[in-house]
Amino acid sequence: MNSSSLVDDAQHLLRVMRLHPQIVNASLSEFGEDECRIAAVFDVEMPFDVRARGVSATGVMAHEPIEIVIRAGYPWKSPTVYFRQDFPRDFPHLQPSLPEAPA
């Protein structure tokens, strides 16, 4: 796969993501021959009082930034999704990662 088709795939993913009602913002943040990175912000559903504070008791923010990395082989190779570096890591559905790395 050449870099232009990977960028085309990333732009297609962006178009699809932007249709989702909980995507606040999404853009192609980096692109190269072997990978493309998409920066996005999700509007996280939470109770009104928690939304007013902007962050839950568990540390989840009302608008949560993520990064999606697609690499050569996409869509047959799954993208990698990263949360912010200080995202709470005590949720059982998260894969372990180093404390200094994004979750």
The stretch 52-57 carries a mean pLDDT of 96
pLDDT at residue 3 tops 80: no
Q: pLDDT at position 93, please? A: 72
Q: pLDDT at position 96, please? A: 67
Q: pLDDT at position 91, please? A: 79
Task: Note the pTM of the prediction, 2 decimals.
Answer: 0.83
- What are the CB-based long-range contacts (under 8 Å, 24+) for 70-73? 70/6, 70/9, 70/10, 70/13, 70/35, 70/36, 70/38, 71/6, 71/34, 71/35, 72/1, 72/6, 72/34, 72/35, 73/1
Q: pLDDT at position 57, please? A: 95
